[in-house]
Amino acid sequence: MNQNLNEKIQNAYNALIFQCNKSLPENDLPIADKAFNFAAETIGNSVWEDGEFILNHSIQVAKIAVIELGLSTDALVSSLLHNIFGARGIVFSLEDIKKQFGTNVADILDGILKINSLNTENIALHSENFRRLMLALSGDVKVILIKIADQLQDMRTLDRLPVEFQKRYSIDTWHLYAPLAHRLGLYKVNSELLDLALKYLHPEDYVAIVEKLKETSVERANFVSAFVKPIEKNLQNRGFDFDMKARTKSIYSIWNKMQNQKVDFQEVYDLFAIRIILNSAPENEKSTCWQVFSVVTEEYLSNPDRLRDWITYPKSNGYESLHTTVLGPGKRWVEVQIRTHRMDDIAENGLAAHWRYKGGKGDVEIDKWLKNIREILENPQLNAVDFIDDFKVNIYEEEIFVFTPKGDLLKLRAGATLLDFAYEIHSKIGDKCVGGKVNNKLVTLKYQLKNGDQISVETSNSQKPKLDWLDFVVTTKAKARIKASLNEERKREAENGKEILKRKFKNWKIELNDAVIRDLLKHYKLKHAADLYFNISSEKIDTLEIKDQIVGKHEGSQEDLLSEILPVQDVRELSFDNSDDCLLIDNGIKDMNYKLAVCCNPVFGDEIFGFVTIKDGIKIHRATCPNSKQLTERYPYRIIKAKWRITGKRNSFQATLRISGSDRRGIITDIQRILAKEVGVQMRSININSEDKSFDGTLRIFVNDLDHLHFLMKKLKSIKGVHSVSRSDT
């Protein structure tokens, strides 16, 4: 015993070692004494601001790690030593620790040091710190478990600290440590952490629920007694070896259900669950649990929608149990949980309990999960707030089980799609996924998977991740990879846009410098040059507009203007009137570099103008086109003067006429006669509506030119009963 050490500290350590005698090999205890003495020499009777002995805190963390979480000697030693760094100004290197206590302890303390050096006070403002924190956590599982133990001890003694510290610790607990405990199967620890966090974040709600639970405790006890009596009798008569107990729902769970379902305390019907724990040989566990399930459902009506079989398909954190909800006395629904003592140990103590059972796969599953976390976090574009939201959702949602074509079993979050499955297989498969088959039936990317589905994925090298994929994938891994791929594609587009801009400025003989870029960013209300380059590459910003913005209106001929936009060969094939610098449009419409706009259907003889599109060459519009004002105001640099050129060739131009008047027998025949015989017009379609002795209709026709069209309109107006004939834009 260290004579200078406070008696409280020494007694706490003696009590720890007494309890460890039951769970750790006797040969390991000397290394624990060595670690305690090392910490005592370093920390001594030093205290924190709240008056707690630092070394006593380390002892309590070690107690939680070994006794409550079931960890081994390395965790005991690491817990005792985790506060020695920086104490009393003494500096230790990890190499010193490795020499005295081994590589495992040094690695665990290294992980804890990394985490303790980070600030998670405001996760939204410290996303990079949070990312590094999670990367540190995703190394050795023992680092996570000891940090959870450390946080639990802090929360248990939080009432000694000022309010601002209470809230900060509680927020970290709520968002990070409780979800981690849940993911590792530490349900008991998770419940305590959330209850304590609720106590400080929502104190009034916490106290109200505690009081309600006290008030209803006798009523609950009477109900439980009445409920379990017939089940106990039947199980005993059939020779089952079992224990039964009632588990009251945690304060946080009650509060969460009240918030989500907008109900009062009295309306939370499942305030407790009945747990049946069986003594069973390992080879008989499943059959024994199902036999007990049969006994329970013989006595009480079960709800088939609430059956949860985590015996056949254990959760990825190793949780095994059979849950059913039955209708008990007084028409009250009760959840019954059926499991063996081994399953109950794992349910209470999570991953650590697997180490006590040969063949446990929990550590393998957790390693897979940690690898997943690391893959996601290694994306530097990760948004911490998004990750936290997805992290919590993925943890608390139910799981589904699906099969690969080879019959391998995969676990995914409920609601996962075919695309989530593809990303679960491999990131590149997800990026190239175009669909697949589920149970030999073709399905789309959005197909929501169901338990037992057998899935194969189809890919295409031409496929690329789309922004709308983020609307239907649900797993964190898929979302993170899609965002990363979209960012990579955006970077490639931006590089292409930058090269385009450089070439244009070189052709214009204008210097491209930072000042020009700043002016363009201001004009287009963009934050970064990469956004400007991306918009240029994706043709959302026109380089000719950029030139117009920098040097003013384009000066030079129409031909020069078109040379800025169209390929040189296309411009050479066009005809221009040099007398008034005007593009000539052949009434034979032979030139494939321009097309008549369908929005206004110009006819030979109309006043026209040309509009240079990005992909479809030149569109010829009527001067009275309904879109002319918008085109002229928004894209003045793309407007070119144009006029018709007579070639002596006849051609047909589409036009639309609106016709209305008084309905009479034979009027449609008269209209058709005028079109077919008297003016030689080719009709494309006719649509006449008649109502209350009046009619209106639309004629789509082909005419030679504007004079031909006017002549037709005059003839139609001469028909008896026709009141108006007008030209339509479409």
Looking at the fold, whether 268 and 417 belong to one and the same domain comes out as no
Q: How far apart are CA 474 and CA 472, in angstroms?
A: 6
Q: Tell me the two tokens of residue 623.
A: 């001067």
Q: Whole-prediction pTM value?
A: 0.57
- The pLDDT score that the predictor gives to residue 379 is 59
Per the structure, the count of domains in the chain is 6
Helical residues (DSSP H) of 556-695, grouped into ranges = 558-565, 568-572, 628-634, 667-673
Q: How far apart are CA 315 and CA 309, in angstroms?
A: 10
Q: What is the DSSP string of 274-313?
A: EEEEE---GGGHHHHHHHHHHHHHHHSEE-GGG-EETTTS
Looking at the fold, whether 570 and 510 belong to one and the same domain comes out as no
Give the CATH number for residue 75: 1.10.3210.10
Looking at the fold, whether 227 and 310 belong to one and the same domain comes out as yes
- The pLDDT score that the predictor gives to residue 447 is 95
Q: Is 406 inside a domain boundary?
A: yes
Q: How far apart are CA 297 and CA 308, in angstroms?
A: 14
Give the CATH number for residue 311: 3.30.460.10
Helical residues (DSSP H) of 64-186, grouped into ranges = 73-81, 94-101, 103-116, 127-137, 141-156, 163-172, 178-183
Among 201, 217, 218, 216, residue whose Cα is nearest residue 252: 201
Q: Walk along the chain (730 residues) in steps of 10 and give the mean pLDDT of each run.
A: 74 89 80 91 83 90 89 89 72 81 88 69 46 56 86 92 89 84 82 95 94 89 91 93 90 90 82 91 92 94 87 79 90 91 82 51 54 59 55 61 80 89 91 92 92 88 91 88 87 89 82 82 86 85 76 55 60 64 67 77 90 81 89 79 76 88 85 78 84 87 88 90 87
Looking at the fold, whether 574 and 457 belong to one and the same domain comes out as no
Residue 477, CA distances (Å) to 133, 153, 218, 666 in order? 18, 32, 47, 71
Q: Is 297 inside a domain boundary?
A: yes
Q: Is 437 inside a domain boundary?
A: yes
Q: How far apart are CA 639 and CA 609, in angstroms?
A: 7
Q: Is 355 inside a domain boundary?
A: no
Give the CATH number for residue 396: 3.10.20.30
Radius of gyration of the chain from its Cα atoms, rounded to whole angstroms: 39
Looking at the fold, whether 112 and 142 belong to one and the same domain comes out as yes
Looking at the fold, whether 522 and 566 belong to one and the same domain comes out as no
Looking at the fold, whether 468 and 600 belong to one and the same domain comes out as no
- The pLDDT score that the predictor gives to residue 226 is 92
Looking at the fold, whether 457 and 405 belong to one and the same domain comes out as yes
Domain end among 428, 457, 485: 485
Helix 127-137 / helix 141-156 crossing angle, nearest 10 deg:
120
Looking at the fold, whether 663 and 567 belong to one and the same domain comes out as no
Coarse DSSP helix, strand, coil percentages of the chain, rounded to the nearest 5 percent: 55, 20, 30
- The pLDDT score that the predictor gives to residue 361 is 46
Q: Is 479 inside a domain boundary?
A: yes
Q: How far apart are CA 48 and CA 153, in angstroms?
A: 14
- The pLDDT score that the predictor gives to residue 729 is 74
Looking at the fold, whether 587 and 539 belong to one and the same domain comes out as no
- The pLDDT score that the predictor gives to residue 362 is 45
**Quick one: residue 652, left, alpha or beta (phi over 0 = left, psi -120 to 50 = alpha)?**
beta
Place of tokens 């789509």: 700
| SS3 (DSSP) at 221 | helix
Q: Is 2 inside a domain boundary?
A: no
Looking at the fold, whether 399 and 271 belong to one and the same domain comes out as no
Domain end among 296, 320, 349: 349
Among 294, 302, 284, residue whose Cα is nearest residue 340: 284
Q: Is 602 inside a domain boundary?
A: yes
Asked whether the beta carbons of 620 and 642 are under 8 A apart, the reply is yes
Q: Is 472 inside a domain boundary?
A: yes
Looking at the fold, whether 660 and 598 belong to one and the same domain comes out as no
Q: How far apart are CA 595 and CA 716, in angstroms?
A: 29
Domain end among 604, 620, 645: 645
Amino acid letter, residue 153: Q
Structural domain including 602 reads 558-645
Contacts 24+ apart (CB under 8 A), 306-309: 306/335
